Homo-oligomer: A and B are copies of this chain.
Amino acid sequence: MAGKVKTRDRILQTSLALFNQEGEAQVSTVDIAAVMGISPGNLYYHFRGKEVIIEALFDDFEEEMRQVLSAPIKRPLDIEDNWIFVYILFEEINDFRFFYYGLASVLERCPNLRPRFARLLKLKQDTVDAILTALEKGGLITFGPGEQDALATRLAAHLTFWLQYRDLTAPAQSSRTIINDGVYSTMIQIAPYIAGDRAPYAALLTEYFKKQR
Which residues of chain A from 174 to 213 have a CB within 8 Å of any chain B CB? 184-185, 188-189, 191-193, 198-199, 201-203, 205-206
| Chain B: minimal CB distance from A186 (Å) | 10
Copies in the complex: 2
| Chain B: minimal CB distance from A128 (Å) | 13
Contacting pair B108 A144 (CB below 8 A): no
Residues of B within 8 A of A121 (CB): 165, 168-169
Name the segment of A51-59, A61-69, A147-155 touching the other chain: A147-155
Cβ contact of A145, chosen from B101, B189, B202, cutoff 8 A: B202
Residues of B within 8 A of A162 (CB): 157
Chain B residue, CB-CB nearest to A146? B206
Q: Is A118 on the interface with B (CB-CB < 8 A)? A: yes
Contacting pair B150 A188 (CB below 8 A): yes
Residues of B within 8 A of A33 (CB): none
Residues of B within 8 A of A48 (CB): none
Cβ contact of A157, chosen from B117, B165, B202, cutoff 8 A: B165
Chain B residue, CB-CB nearest to A202? B144
Cβ contact of A206, chosen from B145, B168, B191, B202, cutoff 8 A: B145
Chain B residue, CB-CB nearest to A114? B168
Contacting pair B23 A108 (CB below 8 A): yes
Residues of B within 8 A of A79 (CB): none
| Chain B: minimal CB distance from A183 (Å) | 12
Residues of B within 8 A of A127 (CB): none
Contacting pair B145 A203 (CB below 8 A): yes
Which residues of chain A from 112 to 168 have a CB within 8 Å of any chain B CB? 114, 117-118, 121-122, 144-147, 150, 153-154, 157-158, 160-162, 164-165, 168
Residues of B within 8 A of A108 (CB): 23, 25, 102, 105
Give 23 CB contacts A-B under 8 Å. Answer: A102-B104, A102-B108, A103-B164, A104-B104, A104-B106, A104-B164, A105-B105, A105-B108, A118-B171, A122-B169, A144-B191, A144-B201, A144-B202, A145-B202, A145-B203, A146-B205, A146-B206, A147-B202, A150-B185, A154-B158, A154-B189, A157-B161, A192-B192
